[in-house]
Structure 1
């Protein structure tokens, strides 16, 4: 490849990366919670909605945790989606203990819809309250203030969406370290653009909106047939800078159980990445520009190092190497600061190694997922 072209592509990658790291992701890293006046809180009732399929063990842990929430008016709706384990019996036992726990059992799913969307639609439809707070069965709130803080933008500010963060439990092993990094990377995408008044996705493990709005837009109209998208694609269709708030507070987070083997992780990520192709064009560009510049940076940088090394041009070799180190240091600072801001903890380990591996994740697994037809919820 022509040396001038190689330098041009590498430089372009550096410039775009700098914009993303400093300007876009920096919005999260340097976020300051705005001061608010003390006002009388609108303690509007909230319904927590959870779709569960064969989640006996997780629900046994989650349900008591939900009823430790410090919020006066809420109930819990759990949709039992054709479970074959002891979920139904557990819910019956728990409803005797917790009067504000309700459940709906689904015995079949119509052919024209996908299971989780059908389950969520039925659960939201029969929910008692207008404010809906969504999470998954394998999640737990990170504090007893979860309901209060996650629903505040919808209850008190008239927002259509409140988008929160859901972390994964830290466990030993390379897979978990990768999950920590990839989760933070994804969060920086949607939290940063959300703070810049350009939201494009949210996660169903921590998402709030109104039942009245959900019914007004006829639930998942247009995306019924897709396995996935009940959270990010739904937000992508209707979220705007004016009707959406990002909730950036460790007490408003949820904590999820991570996948523990590569096979289960691959199934999960194929579903997530597959849905991305249905985003609006401008939103796909938000992710695409970063991924392209990331590839130009690493591939261009490595190619230049090899070229100058073979030519024994150590002056230019050190210049390129210094640029790579500088960008890596900047990334580490931004990711470390953002991680502490989002969940109050230190940055995931091996961040620079995982940053390089992100090339294969996005371009290889992303391409496979884009074309895949075997997407499933459970």
Structure 2
């Protein structure tokens, strides 16, 4: 039994290390320098009860250094002053357009329906998405994201991080997990297997949207307006990634652990609808990650070949550190790197717990 556990530890450790070596495809890469163009862009923001966030963050979009864009603000049946705030922006800036989804509409409360109305309202063929609680870090966000629209590239995956709170452990956990997710979807895209994107910083053409029949295949699913659409539409040929520091957006993170877990439950619930090959490779990685930690703990507790086990563990952690450090440097998240492997261990078991919980109960709707 002891020998079996030891052999399994070696096998799953090697498998996990191979994944991290694969992630060097992103972590060791440099942003592609593409001259910004003059493409007509529609920035789309869907908001539900986001009056204060709109006041704080829409000015950062309006002040973008880009000559040809409009903003589509979608009020998704809000009950606060969201619509009033939108109308105030519209009165002072002709680039602002409003879509007001009311409670008596057939699919009210469905974010994908609201987004579809916003996309139909857009006059420009190049669409750039962010959330109401998001702000671009620089005035060149639109320029750098949309510069990647060229030839056959119709989907652009960007990085949507979170604002930093130096004294909050929860904030570091959220940003660590967000960084790790970005490492994965950027790496897989570079492998030619794009499988998801984040709605906080995502772009695609209206032509791509209509060719995919919008969100029709997963309209019944509560979440997934971003990752399920990308999973459905993205290919090796039509997808580009943008991780230039001038193209990063930052969002307001959850203020409580319960809220964050609820958000992660919604995100994880959509992954079961990914393409079969994507589910297979993601499941293989997470299984190798989980068993690496379980077997390491068991073998160390019972002192089974502990010198070799510790050596393999050290190699794996060092490889992970290098990947995270290189990636965090690109995405301005270096302050969370020192948390490896503590955060890694915590997230492995948290994600396993969330997945297990989702099997017996469904997560709540957005907002």
TM-score, normalized by length of structure 1?
0.92
2:357 aligned partner: 368
1:164 aligned partner: 158
Superposed, which structure 2 residues align to 1:55-70 within 5 Å?
Answer: 55-70=50-65
1:85 positional shift: 1.0
Report the Cα distance in structure 2 between the residues aligned to 1:235 and 1:268, rounded to whole angstroms: 19
Report the Cα distance in structure 2 between the residues aligned to 1:184 and 1:265, rounded to whole angstroms: 15
Report the Cα distance in structure 2 between the residues aligned to 1:19 and 1:264, rounded to whole angstroms: 34
1:213 positional shift: 2.2
2:263 aligned partner: 268
Residue deviations 1:268-327 (CA, integer Å, cap 9, x gap): 111101001111111012221111111221111111112227xxxxxx322212221222
Q: Which moved more, 1:320-329 or 1:291-300?
A: 320-329
1:72 aligned partner: 67
Residue deviations 1:212-242 (CA, integer Å, cap 9, x gap): 2212322111111101110000100111011
- Closer, same or farther in 2 for the Cα pair 1:370/1:250, shift >3 Å? farther
Superposed, which structure 2 residues align to 1:237-256 within 5 Å?
Answer: 237-256=232-251
1:371 positional shift: 4.0
1:124 positional shift: 0.4
Report the Cα distance in structure 2 between the residues aligned to 1:152 and 1:117, rounded to whole angstroms: 26
2:193 aligned partner: 198
1:349 positional shift: 4.2
**Residues matched between the structures, number:** 366
Report the Cα distance in structure 1 between the residues aligned to 2:208 and 2:292, rounded to whole angstroms: 43
1:49 aligned partner: 44
- Secondary structure of the residue aligned to 1:222 is helix
TM-score, normalized by length of structure 2?
0.95
1:333 positional shift: 1.9
**Residue 39 of structure 2 contacts residue 146 of structure 2 at CA under 8 Å; is this kept in 1?**
no
**Residue 160 of structure 2 contacts residue 200 of structure 2 at CA under 8 Å; is this kept in 1?**
yes
Report the Cα distance in structure 2 between the residues aligned to 1:279 and 1:114, rounded to whole angstroms: 24
Residue deviations 1:12-65 (CA, integer Å, cap 9, x gap): 111111111112x111210133466x6xx5412100001101101100011111
CA RMSD of aligned residues (A): 1.8
1:230 aligned partner: 225
**Residue 50 of structure 1 contacts residue 134 of structure 1 at CA under 8 Å; is this kept in 2?**
yes
2:342 aligned partner: 353
Which ranges in structure 2 are unaligned for 5 or more consecutive residues? Answer: none
- Closer, same or farther in 2 for the Cα pair 1:45/1:51, shift >3 Å? same
Superposed, which structure 2 residues align to 1:1-378 within 5 Å?
Answer: 2-23=1-22, 25-34=23-32, 42-108=37-103, 115-154=110-149, 156-171=150-165, 172-308=167-303, 316-343=305-332, 345-378=334-367
- Closer, same or farther in 2 for the Cα pair 1:164/1:35, shift >3 Å? closer
**Residue 149 of structure 1 contacts residue 251 of structure 1 at CA under 8 Å; is this kept in 2?**
yes
